[in-house]
């Protein structure tokens, strides 16, 4: 395990201070004045860059594939990634679970850009495997403390007014393997239980309005049609707020492992409350205390009591580049430091970056869309001179909540936790550009 002592951290800080004039942060323009040498030299051997320098009108050698005809349209009527991208896949940790039908696979965050997770790479988590559901036979029922119990076909649901929203979904166990120390030498395993899609469907409030919730209706039970009959109790306030009954992700029908043909999405909440293969919504006056909200998905506190219904995924962030899978492989020079931030309570307000393990901080600009309960990108450019760094990011959301240190989180939650580890994460960048997962002692 890569514990990093405070003595080591102080030594690193001194190195960085000596070199501080080298670690520049500049405007976007004119940051890569050495790009010609960097880019040109790497390509000389392959493309005759010498001639290029002598005659600016000559293009480089024509590559072999320009001399050939390619594949026709509809070679893949439903497209596939390039064969050169066959390592961009979901992965699991073999020792983590006993069986693949009650397990998890994780999103390769290091391979992704922007905020959308493509459907083929959205993380998986289920409790009795993925059922194969015929959408024509699927039904959603709403019953319990309602004026008019209702049962819907998929066609029925598609007649209701639809909404489409880009929201992250995160398993509360994301990062859970790291509670007791740095174990996973990969971003995909430290943070890969999160994905972000454009979800389309009907607001649950619209359907509940049709059913007519009785005044004593205070909770909803959502139940899946999978073999686990996975079920969670959800307060009526959330159900009437932003919960969506979803049938599409990133434009197309839900993927089987994402609940095809129907699921809940509770924006900003524990992924497991967004019940997949949704078949039943019961309105009641109190929670049901189902298996997955008692034996699982509770937080064991230092005093031995379990905290139940900790729904919200609190503000979190991680640097995605560099990362163990994306080291600084070009030696010294300019790199983009990039990462993701998110909060289950709303929008990201700001992200700070530290290069010395949290002693000094500076703000990293957010870029692109900044949406509520959605992945948000931050980035900054650095001119790296080969010094080791302890890279951290710290996100703040619009409620003012500041992402805590692991020490702060442990002080509050003790050593028994599995879920809701949203602590500041540390990557150690070594002099050779490799990146390690470390924790500060």
Q: Which of residues 68-87 bind its own copies (CB under 8 A)?
A: 68-86
330 contacts its own copies (rule: CB under 8 A): yes
Question: CB 299 → its own copies: shortest distance, Å?
Answer: 24
Stretch that binds its own copies, among 172-180, 251-259, 387-395, 417-425 (CB under 8 A): 251-259
- Please report, as residue ranges, which positions from 181 to 240 form the binding site for its own copies (by CB under 8 A): 198-200, 206, 209-210, 223, 225-227, 229
Q: Binder to its own copies among 296, 332, 347, 367 (CB under 8 A)?
A: 367
Stretch that binds its own copies, among 10-18, 109-117, 298-306, 426-434 (CB under 8 A): 109-117
Alpha carbons 184 and 361: distance in angstroms, whole number: 25
279 contacts its own copies (rule: CB under 8 A): yes
**Residue 94 contacts by C-beta under 8 Å, 6 or more apart in sequence?**
none
Give the three-class secondary structure for 159. coil
Alpha carbons 232 and 224: distance in angstroms, whole number: 9
Question: CB 104 → its own copies: shortest distance, Å?
Answer: 6
Please give the radius of gyration of the chain, using alpha carbons only, rounded to the nearest integer: 25
Burial of 418 per CB tally in 10 Å (0-12, 13-18, 19+)? middle
Q: Binder to its own copies among 3, 39, 180, 289 (CB under 8 A)?
A: 39
Closest by alpha carbon to 345, among 281, 298, 403?
A: 403
165 contacts its own copies (rule: CB under 8 A): yes
292 contacts its own copies (rule: CB under 8 A): no
Q: CA quadruple 59, 61, 67, 71: dihedral positive or negative? A: negative
Are 199 and 164 contacting, i.e. CB atoms less than 8 angstroms apart?
yes
Question: CB 48 → its own copies: shortest distance, Å?
Answer: 9
Q: Binder to its own copies among 146, 278, 312, 340 (CB under 8 A)?
A: 146
Q: Binder to its own copies among 242, 282, 314, 356 (CB under 8 A)?
A: 282
- Please report, as residue ranges, which positions from 395 to 434 form the binding site for its own copies (by CB under 8 A): none
Are 200 and 164 contacting, i.e. CB atoms less than 8 angstroms apart?
yes
359 contacts its own copies (rule: CB under 8 A): no
What DSSP string describes 264-291?
A: EE-TTBBGGGS-SSEEEEEEESS----G
**Residue 41 contacts by C-beta under 8 Å, 6 or more apart in sequence?**
49
383 contacts its own copies (rule: CB under 8 A): no
């Amino acid at each position: 395990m890569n514990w990093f002592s405070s003595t080591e951290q102080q030594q690193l800080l001194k190195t960085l201070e000596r070199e501080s004039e080298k670690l520049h942060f500049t405007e976007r323009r004119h940051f890569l004045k050495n790009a010609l040498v960097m880019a040109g030299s790497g390509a000389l051997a392959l493309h005759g860059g010498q001639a290029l320098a002598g005659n600016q009108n000559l293009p480089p050698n024509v590559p072999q594939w320009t001399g050939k005809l390619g594949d026709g349209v509809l070679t893949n009527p439903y497209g596939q990634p390039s064969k050169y991208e066959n390592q961009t896949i979901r992965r699991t940790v073999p020792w983590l679970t006993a069986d693949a039908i009650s397990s998890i696979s994780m999103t390769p965050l290091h391979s992704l850009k922007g905020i959308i997770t493509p459907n083929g790479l959205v993380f998986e988590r289920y409790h009795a495997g993925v059922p194969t559901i015929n959408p024509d036979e699927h039904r959603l029922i709403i019953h319990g403390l309602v004026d008019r119990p209702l049962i819907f076909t998929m066609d029925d649901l598609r007649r209701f007014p639809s909404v489409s929203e880009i929201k992250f979904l995160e398993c509360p166990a994301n990062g859970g393997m790291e509670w007791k120390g740095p174990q996973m030498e990969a971003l995909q395993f430290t943070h890969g239980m999160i994905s972000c899609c454009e979800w389309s469907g009907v607001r649950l409030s619209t359907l509940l309005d049709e059913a007519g919730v009785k005044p004593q209706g205070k909770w909803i039970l959502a139940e899946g049609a999978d073999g686990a009959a996975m079920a969670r109790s959800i307060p009526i306030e959330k159900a009437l707020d932003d919960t969506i009954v979803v049938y599409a992700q990133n434009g197309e029908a839900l993927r089987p492992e994402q609940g095809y043909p129907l699921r809940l999405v509770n924006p900003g909440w524990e992924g497991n409350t967004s019940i997949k293969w949704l078949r039943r919504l019961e309105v009641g006056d109190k929670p049901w205390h189902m298996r997955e909200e008692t034996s699982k998905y509770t937080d064991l506190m230092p005093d031995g009591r379990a905290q139940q219904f900790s729904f919200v995924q609190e503000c979190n962030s991680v640097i995605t580049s560099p990362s163990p899978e994306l080291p600084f492989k070009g030696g010294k020079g300019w790199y983009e430091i990039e990462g993701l931030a998110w909060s289950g309570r709303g929008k990201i307000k700001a992200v700070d970056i530290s290069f010395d393990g949290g002693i000094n901080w500076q703000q990293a600009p957010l870029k692109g869309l900044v949406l509520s309960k959605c992945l948000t990108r931050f980035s900054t450019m650095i001119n790296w001179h080969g010094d080791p760094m302890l890279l951290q990011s710290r996100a703040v959301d619009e409620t003012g909540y500041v992402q805590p240190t692991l020490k702060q989180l442990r002080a509050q939650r003790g050593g028994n936790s599995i879920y809701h580890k949203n602590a500041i994460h540390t990557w150690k960048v070594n002099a050779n550009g490799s990146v390690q997962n470390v924790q500060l002692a």
